[in-house]
Amino acid sequence: MNSDMNAEPAPAPAPEKFSRAKNRDQLRSDITEQAVRLFAECGYEGTSIALVAESAGISKQNLLYYFPNKLALYQHVLDEVLDDWLARMSALDDDSQEPADLLRAYIKAKLRFSREKPWGSRVYAMEVITGARVYASAIKKRVVPVLRQDIAVFEKWIAAGKIAPIDPMHMMFAIWAMTQSYADFSAQMALVLNRKQLTRRDFDVAETVIVDMVLAAVLKTVKDESTEV
């Protein structure tokens, strides 16, 4: 008889271990949530470890157990923002779909990020506006390759006659500017609209306007040529 059949089953991990791990993950998430808001509101210089700890409802010493200093916390926040941002971006390189549908989905995803993660968008924007002194290498390593892939897709569309011969890089810059402004400058927009904050309808309207503008630009020449024929 196989001796393994008589072996005692391995003991299940103690429930308190799962509880402690879950609590640690939740605490780390709470710290990050407060940090991204404070970095967005106060900037890097105006945010202290003590302020983040107080906002998260823990001691400074407890926070330093998870993040040894403010720079480590700031870099973690930016990593989380960029992870989320890149994960939401639908790949443009999909030969089974038309450029118009892919661009529409891309713009929708960018606006959804601005609506759901405004603090994260503002932290990233502030870092870039101040010269990307902390995060430049990460941007070059992670954002630039993705952008170049998207540019290659635009160039393929242009070569195939599917879109107008526009400058792909500056078109992407324009899409980023239009969509991210609904997070980074939402306070100004809300003031102009005479309301406390932007509504879901504002984002829906923005999506329609931005999509129409982008598609009008990239498809104009294609439409004109088809009309002439």
Is 129 within 8 Å of 70 (Cβ atoms)? no
Pick the CATH number of 16-68 from 1.10.132.50, 1.10.10.10, 3.30.1360.120, 1.10.10.60: 1.10.10.60
> What is the pLDDT confidence band of residue 223, given thresholds at 50, 70 and 90?
low
Q: Which CATH fold would you assign to the domain 78-228?
A: Tetracycline Repressor; domain 2 (1.10.357)
Q: How far apart are CA 183 and CA 191, in angstroms?
A: 14
pTM of the model: 0.83
DSSP classification of residue 14 = P
Model confidence at 17: pLDDT above 90? no
CA 194 to chain centre: 27
CATH fold match for the domains 16-68 and 78-228: no
The reported pLDDT for the residue numbered 4 is 46
| Average pLDDT for 142-163 | 94
pLDDT of residue 1: 46
Provide the residue ranges of all domains of the chain, joining segments of one domain with +: 16-68, 78-228
Round to whole Å and give the CA distance between 171 and 147: 11
Residues 6 or more apart in contact with residue 37 via CB below 8 angstroms: 55, 119
In the structure, what pLDDT confidence band is assigned to residue 2 with cuts at 50, 70 and 90? very low
Q: What is the mean pLDDT of residues 155-176?
A: 96
